[in-house]
Amino acid sequence: MTIASRVLRHTIPVDDAWHDMQLPGPIVHVATRHPYAVEVWTLHADTQPDTAETRMLRVYGTGQPITEPVRHIGTAIMPGGAFVWHLMERTS
């Protein structure tokens, strides 16, 4: 029997704030389509519907000071390259 899975999309605003995100699985990709949000895609196993994990995520722009412990999740480049966003997870 094959275990059913799906990829789900989640949006994190570009607003200089931390966001508690309920993510149902590991992040598999980070990208952006417009300057106001970064999107992440997560892999979710349908056989484990209640496995969401709360993660503290924030988007930083290139050159923006990072003043607390973080882990880099991914980088997203705006189409045309006008903005480059960096998705970070709070580690403390």
Domain of 61, in residue numbers: 5-90
The verdict on pTM exceeding 0.85 is yes
Question: Which residue, chain included where needed, has tokens 């590991």?
Answer: 26
CA dist 92 and 84 (Å) reads 25
Strand partners, 86: 60, 75
For residue 51, the model assigns a pLDDT of 73
Q: How many domains does the chain have?
A: 1
For residue 2, the model assigns a pLDDT of 63
- Token pair belonging to 58: 């924030």
Q: What is the mean pLDDT of each run of 10 residues along the chain (92 residues)?
A: 82 98 94 96 79 92 97 97 97 90
Nearest to 42 by CA among 11, 67, 71: 11
For residue 47, the model assigns a pLDDT of 66
